[in-house]
Amino acid sequence: MINFVSYIVKLFSSRGKKFYSFIYTKTGVAPRDLKLYYQALTHKSSVRKPHRNLSAYNERLEFLGDALLSAIVADVLYQKYLGYDEGFLTQMRSRIVSRSRLNEVALKLGLQEYVNAKTQKDLSETHILGDSLEALIGAIYLDLGFKQCHNFVTGKIIQSFIDLEEISQNDSNYKSKLIEWGHKNHYSIDFVTTKKEADDENSSLFVATALVESLEIGTGEGSTKKEAQQNAALNALEYMDSNPGLFDSTNNRSELN
């Protein structure tokens, strides 16, 4: 593989050689179509008239990579945590693919060296790096197929930067986190919980909605009211994490992570 990589690198320009080596070093894959990887690391803010050229920036690749990442992480968790219920697996996956965690992984990978974006903030203070990581996953899939994409996610992301045991043992009370955030930033937090008809007559199903200042921002289901409210709070925190401008009066987005 090294000889093949050396041969391919010789075919590129000086800039292309550096970028190819960067992608190969960081991902462990040998790119065939470098244009996909440039696109993956190009943010919409750096493109003139982006509405005219969707292939010039990474939003479509990010959409694809997000779905692939979620599926691969779900597969890893399903195989590793036998006997655990859907709620546990869902919470684990949510913690792994959260924007804040993806930003951290992207920083550790060093994607900021080649991410092309125009922002007044430091890239580490935005979601651009995490979005670019998802786009990179999409690029690898389109360029080299699912197996290489799966290898990158499991080997270079999960095994290298994600401590599954620590995450699984971390007792996250999402309802308390949301309420504490509300108190700190002077927002009212409420939960509306209703009982839902379940398919099994002997089981119960509850649906909860998390409200911030009467704005519905998260819903969740569970076999108990507590579980439903926890899932609703988790959904709300994820939504707020993905929409940092939702409550502009606070600058403490990190409190949600």
**Residues involved in catalysis:** 66, 134
What is the spatial distance between Cα 58 and Cα 138, in angstroms, rounded to a whole number? 9
CA 18 to CA 191: how far, in whole Å? 52
Helix (H) or strand (E) holding 33: none
CA distances (Å), 209 to each of 49, 224, 236, in order? 39, 14, 9
Q: Which residue from 131, 112, 127 is spatially nearest to 256, judged by alpha carbons?
A: 127
Among candidate residues 102, 111, 124, the one with its CA nearest the CA of residue 22: 111
Q: Tokens at residue 178, please?
A: 């949301």
**Structure-block tokens of residue 139:** 């690029």
Residue corresponding to tokens 């939504």: 239
Amino acid at 164: L
Report the alpha-carbon distance of residue 232 to residue 209 in Å, rounded: 6
Separation between Cα atoms, residue 124 and residue 103, nearest integer Å: 7
